[in-house]
């Protein structure tokens, strides 16, 4: 008598590494990610170069006029870069909801949270690498353009490497912030509005508060705290580089925590 054996079925397994690989594939297979990422790097470099080329110490209103040194000058584009890279993060997360893709995603990964962690890690990691590279390009191409108007700085000079890698770290965290906001509000438009509001508008609004209040609040706002890592000198009105980055990381962690809570608790 012969025994019937069922045809061998391959053994698949849902793993954290797999979820990471899946998110990696998702990231690179959308045209919009490539475009947003390229725009982010372009803005950081282009604005930096324009600021360096047109810098005039006599003009107190021109581009980069607030910059105290050449590193700050070539990183003038970080505000725009932050907005673009944050939008990238929002689109990655909120796009899942606006297209219905989230249903496929969560059916494959019903434990849910690994999707958020993976998306955040990939957006943050890629933004860090690309934006760090962009910061270096801005520095090497921009410094000569500033010419004699500002003291030349080299990579080995105090704080320069920290500022350039810091730009990458800050912008990487902004991308994660975008992912968190997008996952939290589940809408691209809403996520981008909140992102722009927190990074650009709130700091301006706070300036309208009485001076004593504004002075205490301003350094802790996301963009101000996060940008501290990029400046060579610490002004009285801002946090130290690593303290500032830690404060911004706390903002990001809070947003990510809220997003995780909503993802785990509510119907998809």
Partner 1 sequence: MIEVRNVVKRYATKTAVNGLTFTAHPGQVTGFLGPNGAGKSTTMRMIVGLDAPTSGEVLVNGRRYADHAAPLQEIGVLLEARAVHPGRSAVSHLLALARTHGIPRSRVDEVIDLAGLTKVAGKRVGGFSLGMGQRLGIAAALLGDPQVIMLDEPVNGLDPEGVLWVRNLLAGLAAEGRTVLLSSHLMSETALIAEHLVVVGQGRLLADTTVADLIAQTAGGGVKVATSEPGMLRQLLSRPGVMVTSVDAEQLLVDGLSTREIGALAAEYRIPLYQLTEEQVSLEEAFMDLTRDAVEYTATPVLQGAVR
Stretch binding partner 1 (CB under 8 A), from 101-109, 132-140, 175-183, 193-201 = 101-109
H/E run at residue 145: helix 113-146
Q: How far is the CB of 241 from partner 1 (least distance, A)?
A: 38
3-state secondary structure 56-124: CCCCCCCCCCCCCCHHHHHCCCHHHHHHHHHHHHHHHHHHHHHHCHHHHHHHHCCCCHHHHHHHHHHHH
Virtual torsion, Cα 252, 254, 260, 263, nearest 10 deg: -100
**Burial class (CB within 10 angstroms; exposed 0-12, middle 13-18, buried 19+) of 90:** buried
Nearer to partner 1, 189 or 254 (CB): 189
Q: Cβ of residue 179: shortest distance to partner 1, in angstroms?
A: 15
- Which of residues 28 and 140 has its CB atom nearest to partner 1 in the complex? 28
Single residue of 32, 216, 233, 237 touching partner 1 by CB under 8 A: 32
d(CA 135, CA 231): 13
Minimum CB distance to partner 1, residue 262 (Å)? 13
Q: Residue 112: left if φ>0, alpha if ψ -120 to 50, beta else—which one?
A: left
> Which lies closer to partner 1 via its Cβ, residue 99 or residue 152?
99
Residue 8 lies near partner 1 (rule: CB under 8 A): no
Among 8, 13, 58, 210, binds partner 1 (CB under 8 A): 13
Which among 9-17, 119-127, 129-137, 156-164 is the span making contact with partner 1, rule CB under 8 A?
Answer: 9-17
Q: Which residues bind partner 1 (CB under 8 A)?
A: 9-15, 18-19, 21-26, 29-32, 95-96, 99-111, 267-268
């Amino acid at each position: 008598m012969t025994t019937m054996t069922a045809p061998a079925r391959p053994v698949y397994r849902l793993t954290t590494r797999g979820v990471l690989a899946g998110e990696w594939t998702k990231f690179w297979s959308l045209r919009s990610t490539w475009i947003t990422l390229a725009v982010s790097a372009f803005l950081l470099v282009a604005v930096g170069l324009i600021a360096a080329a047109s810098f005039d110490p006599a003009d107190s209103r021109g581009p980069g006029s607030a910059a105290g040194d050449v590193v700050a000058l070539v990183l003038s584009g970080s505000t725009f870069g932050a907005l673009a890279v944050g939008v990238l993060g929002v689109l990655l997360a909120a796009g899942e909801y606006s297209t219905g893709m989230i249903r496929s995603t969560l059916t494959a990964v019903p434990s849910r949270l690994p999707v958020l962690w993976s998306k955040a890690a990939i957006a943050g990691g890629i933004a860090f690498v690309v934006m760090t590279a962009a910061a270096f390009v801005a520095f090497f191409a921009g410094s000569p353009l500033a010419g004699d108007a500002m003291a030349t700085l080299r990579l080995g000079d105090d704080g320069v490497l920290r500022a350039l890698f810091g730009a990458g770290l800050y912008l990487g965290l902004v991308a994660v912030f975008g992912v968190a906001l997008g996952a939290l509000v589940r809408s691209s438009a809403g996520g981008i509005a909140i992102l722009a509001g927190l990074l650009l508008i709130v700091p301006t609004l706070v300036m309208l508060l009485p001076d004593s209040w504004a002075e205490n609040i301003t350094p802790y706002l996301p963009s101000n705290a996060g940008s501290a890592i990029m400046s060579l000198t610490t002004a009285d009105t801002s946090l130290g580089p690593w303290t500032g980055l830690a404060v911004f990381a706390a903002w990001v962690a809070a947003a990510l925590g809220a997003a995780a809570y909503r993802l785990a608790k509510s119907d998809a």
